Structure 1
Amino acid sequence: MRRIRLTAVLIAAAITSSALTANGYEKPERTALAITWQDEFNDPTGTKPSAGKWNYDLGGEPNWGNEEWQYYTNRKENVSTDGAGNLVISARKEKLPGMENCQFGTCDITSGRITTKDKFDQAYGRFEARIKIPGGQGLWPAFWMMGNNIDDVDWPGNGEVDIMEVVGNEPSTLYGTLHGPGYSGDEGPGGQTSAPAGQKWADAFHTYRVDWAPNEVKWLVDGRQFLRITPANIPAGKKWVFDHPFYLLLNLAVGGVWPGPPNSSTRFPAKMLIDYVRVYG
């Protein structure tokens, strides 16, 4: 997420047919994995994320490296529970003090970005969230991870795993990507998958997930694997940096180089609903 991106490189995923049902989705798995961290967001309406689990990224910073339009806040209007078991990240068209000096866009869009930096991180395991993304031109919801050594090693040397990204002008395409030293931005190895025929990812909740093991990251949506990346998929001579703890991020960006600007058809507030986030190890 934290980079300019225009395209993705498609890498074929290896899927064992015996593990799939007739509709192409995995059969329920028997696994010894145990939950190591979770947030179910079962709080009363208007509750902000647990301060023991989440931090806020704030402001324009500047434009998050992607010429994005939004200004992130820690207000419940932008990030809070709906009382129905979901955390809601809302992008809203409004002006707040301090937004006048934005570099790109109309300087009148707020949103939310939360992270578990310095509160939870883990190396290897299963990382998943059940999310209903918003649809609309210029919207850019994401669920992703960053290497926890970012304060000592500049991006992309710390590593980044984009578990879920969908941009509003490609509503039926889901992207997964890795970013590391010498293979970031447009050069980040990744892949994509399409929503079921005639559908958009914003039409319903979906479970977005990566299974991460030494020398391997696999992407799945609703239990269906669509991408696998190993050190063999990064440029020769470059370092595989997915061997240390990573923390989680959730955000709803607006505008930027990749999704383009919102237009008159984009409806605000745009809402990203997160039913849960769970990590297994």
Structure 2
Amino acid sequence: MGSRSRRATVAGIVAVAAAAAALHAPAVADERVTTERVAIASQASQWTPSAHTRLRTVRIGSTRALQIAPTRRSGRTNLSARSPVSTDVVDRAGTLVRATARVRSSQPGRRMTLTIREISAGRVVASRSTSVTAASRSWRRLTVSLRTTRAGSRVQLSTRASRVSGRHLARIADVTVEKTVPAASRPAPASPAPPATAASCEAIDYSDPAQGVRTFTDDFDGTAIDPASWRVRDDTFLNHDKAWITRDAVSVHDGYLDITGRRLPQDQWRTNTKALYGAENATRDYSTGYVDSIDRFSQRYGSFEVRAWVPSASTMSRGIWPAFWLRADHQPGEIDPMESYGAPTIRSFDPSSSYEWNSWADTAQGSTSDPVKQKTQGRADVGTDKIWQGWHTYGVNWSPSCLRYTYDGRTVATVLFDDPKTLGYFRGPTFADTFHIRLNMQVGSKYWGWADPEHTRSEFSFKIDWVRVHQGRDLMP
């Protein structure tokens, strides 16, 4: 993906090598770094604008910049442009690539984002983004880096200006790309790490400032969701419930993100001809919301936490199914720190005062009763708490050796990657990927029961006070 170099304009972005100290692998004494130039774009006209976006090259004093402007004069929109894919390749997996640029905006306070992508076999296999609030009278600097996951991959950059309107002009200049390439000499053999234990996993807490650094946060203190951090899904559906996903079910107010579920008037019901369970969930008589950080933020390893209030009460909440989960960017797996279920259910027990955690290597593998299913799961022990009666913090610490699920800072489950029962998939391709964040609420399920007016209230909210992600200091580039 993208990287940084020394001065280059949009008309000529290049990649250059950096210092070996950034590499994690122990090196033999004669290992060096090499410096290579990798062309990304030969001229600004090669960049591709998004819809309603106009591009041109301008000169501001002695600085040559790419200018991004809307093609329409009314309404707010997001403007973006992407570079062509680099003509040269990044030869080695694990190469550290950095991109940097300077940005300005004619409307101060607008969020501008720089993204670097790693392209392999024509698809994005890893990406990283960083954002800054641009000023109108001075340049602000953006820097983003990633470590490549494939040998022979290529690099692409993109830039984005969020919620701009009217005669807005965004400018990006001095775009540079730099890569740190280790020499071909072999790393010195490292001493084998001792196998992880529950105790050693308990000691890992990347949200502790001594162990980690903040890489993503949203306190939802504004009046609208930040499009630089989140995508809001609209006019779509999921397979396993009976709700229709709409943008207007997502709002930000009173300091939290509100994902609202509603029973719809009959004249607003939708029919899903592709329903997984046929007539059982073909009629979509509820609406709900769904946000994710796809193409905005993703990370391998780290501490992922939300403070949330779930609506899955012990009565009148059948089928209400809020979730905080992480999905792999390029693999079919996920990590679910919290899935909560309402009651009364069609089962013999009430799950409303607890919640489930799980992790999958492949969600398409088959039924949960499959003896070879690559999945770990469990129900969190929350003691006498009624989780639907207040705010609680749900999280997971994901390290190279284990997953540790937490509730209000207390460990509720530990999964060790080198356990013989799970070694085959926790050391496989899914958990070598980066994962993004998803927050959504489904309504109804075949297992717990479909929502209906007799057992489910007509309106309910999944509230998220904040989202915070940290990365381990020892895992940073």
Fold in common (TM above 0.5):
yes
Work out whether residues 217 and 228 of structure 1, in 8 Å CA contact, stay in contact via their aligned partners in 2: yes
The one-letter code matched in structure 2 to 1:129 is V
Distance 1:219 1:37 in 2: 19
Match of 2:336 among 162, 168, 181: 162
Work out whether residues 221 and 256 of structure 2, in 8 Å CA contact, stay in contact via their aligned partners in 1: yes
The one-letter code matched in structure 2 to 1:138 is G
Equivalent position of 1:31 in the other structure: 210
Answering whether residue 300 of structure 2 is matched by residue 123 of structure 1, we say yes
The one-letter code matched in structure 1 to 2:215 is T
Distance 1:237 1:185 in 2: 19
Distance 2:259 2:394 in 1: 17
Q: CA deviation at 1:29?
A: 5.2
* Pair 1:200–1:211, CA change in 2 (3 A): same
Q: Which structure dedicates a bigger proportion of its chain to strand?
A: 2
Match of 2:381 among 165, 184, 194: 194
Can you list the C-alpha shifts for 1:166-209, whole angstroms capped at 9, x where unaligned?
A: 11131122111011138775242112123332x42111111000
Answering whether residue 260 of structure 2 is matched by residue 90 of structure 1, we say yes
Query: What is the TM-score of this pair, normalised by structure 2?
Result: 0.47
| Secondary structure in structure 2 of the residue aligned to 1:194 | coil
Query: What is the TM-score of this pair, normalised by structure 1?
Result: 0.78
Equivalent position of 1:111 in the other structure: 288
Structure 1 residue runs of 5 or longer lacking an equivalent are 1-12, 20-25
Can you list the C-alpha shifts for 1:43-93, whole angstroms capped at 9, x where unaligned?
A: 13xx2x2111111234444xx232x01111112xx10012x2111000011
Distance 2:243 2:259 in 1: 12
Distance 1:265 1:211 in 2: 36
Can you list the C-alpha shifts for 1:68-119, whole angstroms capped at 9, x where unaligned?
A: 01111112xx10012x211100001115768233631642210001100011
Equivalent position of 2:467 in the other structure: 277
The alignment yields a C-alpha RMSD, in angstroms, of 2.7
Work out whether residues 271 and 282 of structure 2, in 8 Å CA contact, stay in contact via their aligned partners in 1: no
* Pair 1:185–1:65, CA change in 2 (3 A): farther
Equivalent position of 2:414 in the other structure: 228
Q: Percent identity?
A: 27
Equivalent position of 2:252 in the other structure: 81
* Pair 1:243–1:184, CA change in 2 (3 A): farther
* Pair 1:15–1:105, CA change in 2 (3 A): farther
Figure out how many residues of one structure are paired with residues of the other and give that number: 244
Q: CA deviation at 1:234?
A: 4.5
Work out whether residues 116 and 247 of structure 1, in 8 Å CA contact, stay in contact via their aligned partners in 2: yes
List structure 1 runs of 4+ shifted beyond 4 angstroms: 95-98, 182-185, 233-239
Answering whether residue 384 of structure 2 is matched by residue 213 of structure 1, we say no
Distance 1:80 1:140 in 2: 18
Equivalent position of 2:198 in the other structure: 14
Distance 1:54 1:29 in 2: 25
* Pair 1:214–1:86, CA change in 2 (3 A): same
Work out whether residues 219 and 228 of structure 1, in 8 Å CA contact, stay in contact via their aligned partners in 2: yes
Work out whether residues 292 and 437 of structure 2, in 8 Å CA contact, stay in contact via their aligned partners in 1: yes
Distance 1:226 1:15 in 2: 13
Work out whether residues 206 and 221 of structure 1, in 8 Å CA contact, stay in contact via their aligned partners in 2: yes
Distance 1:271 1:278 in 2: 21
| Secondary structure in structure 2 of the residue aligned to 1:189 | strand
The one-letter code matched in structure 1 to 2:356 is Y
Work out whether residues 14 and 227 of structure 1, in 8 Å CA contact, stay in contact via their aligned partners in 2: no
* Pair 1:218–1:256, CA change in 2 (3 A): same
Equivalent position of 1:55 in the other structure: 231
Match of 1:72 among 238, 245, 251: 245
